Amino acid sequence: MSKSMSSKLLFRPVNLAPIPLVLLLACTLFGGAITPVHAADSLVPDGGFENGIAGWKVFIPEESKDKNCRFEIISDSPHSGTTCVRLQSDDFARFSIGLGLLPVQAGDRYRVSVWLKADAGAQVRANAPGFVIRLGLRQGDADAEGGHLFIAPGNRVTRSIPADPASVLPKQWTQLEAVIEIPPGVDAMGPSLFSWWTSGTILADDFSIEKVDATTPLTPVWTKGAP
Ligand SMILES: [Ca+2]
């Protein structure tokens, strides 16, 4: 076998040698694009929305099905890279884009983060947070007892229902971030980005979920009336 044939069959090992194995694996699994090195630690394969909508599933509850809920990848002013995702609806609606289920164990801690920006014309229904990260919690084939975890603007973590709004949705790119712990009675987690009673346009980018050490401080769970 000639040297050039050997190089082709082995995916040009000389060129790939400096790339960490985990990144190489991520590139192989998720479409071949070179992802930023920091994304290799995230459990969200393309949280930067740089490789299209493949892998993202939309969920529209019954009450919002007639609000023209939709999402697409756009290249206008992303938070990072060249593209981000745009969530839109014609009236106040709830809908989400999400990933499949990730296996988890009670006591696992994760740092969850996304960057968010609402369009100038976006409006939020009274007393609603407008946008949340929802971590759907499952055990076996059913929703876990105690409900899902939510992270709302202001980094307000709650179980079962989203927190009250901290303020209006940000019109500049703003990070939502929290460290959460998987409660007992949960064996899988389905992450999603949720427009929660917003009408108009919300942009999101750089969604990441990273497992952290059990000693990493948790974001306090928000309770009604708390700041
Ligand atoms: Ca991006």
Is residue 175 included in any domain, yes or no?
yes
Cα 46 to averaged position of ligand 1 atoms, centre (Å):
9
What CATH number does the domain containing 186 carry? 2.60.120.260
Average pLDDT, the chain: 87
- Number of compact structural domains in the chain: 1
Cα 85 to averaged position of ligand 1 atoms, centre (Å):
8
Span between the terminal Cα atoms of the chain, in Å? 69
- Residues 189 and 182: beta-carbon distance below 8 Å: yes
Residue 191 clears pLDDT 90, i.e. is over it:
yes
Residue 17 clears pLDDT 70, i.e. is over it:
no
How does residue 10 score in pLDDT terms, banded at 50, 70 and 90? very low
Is residue 219 included in any domain, yes or no?
no
Cα 10 to averaged position of ligand 1 atoms, centre (Å):
31
- Residues 134 and 95: beta-carbon distance below 8 Å: no
Contacts of 36 (CB under 8 A, 6+ apart): 48, 80, 81
Is residue 225 included in any domain, yes or no?
no
Is residue 75 included in any domain, yes or no?
yes
Query: What is the rounded distance in angstroms from the CA atom of residue 37 to the CA atom of residue 214?
Result: 23
Residue 122 clears pLDDT 60, i.e. is over it:
yes
How does residue 29 score in pLDDT terms, banded at 50, 70 and 90? very low
Residue 224, pLDDT score: 86
Ion ligand 1: protein residues whose beta carbon lies under 5 Å: 48, 78, 80-81, 84, 205
Kindly state the percentage of the chain with pLDDT values over 90: 78
pTM: 0.82
Is residue 62 included in any domain, yes or no?
yes
Is residue 222 included in any domain, yes or no?
no
Enclosing domain of residue 9: 3-212
- Residues 122 and 105: beta-carbon distance below 8 Å: no
- What Rg value do the Cα atoms of the chain yield, rounded? 19
Is residue 153 included in any domain, yes or no?
yes
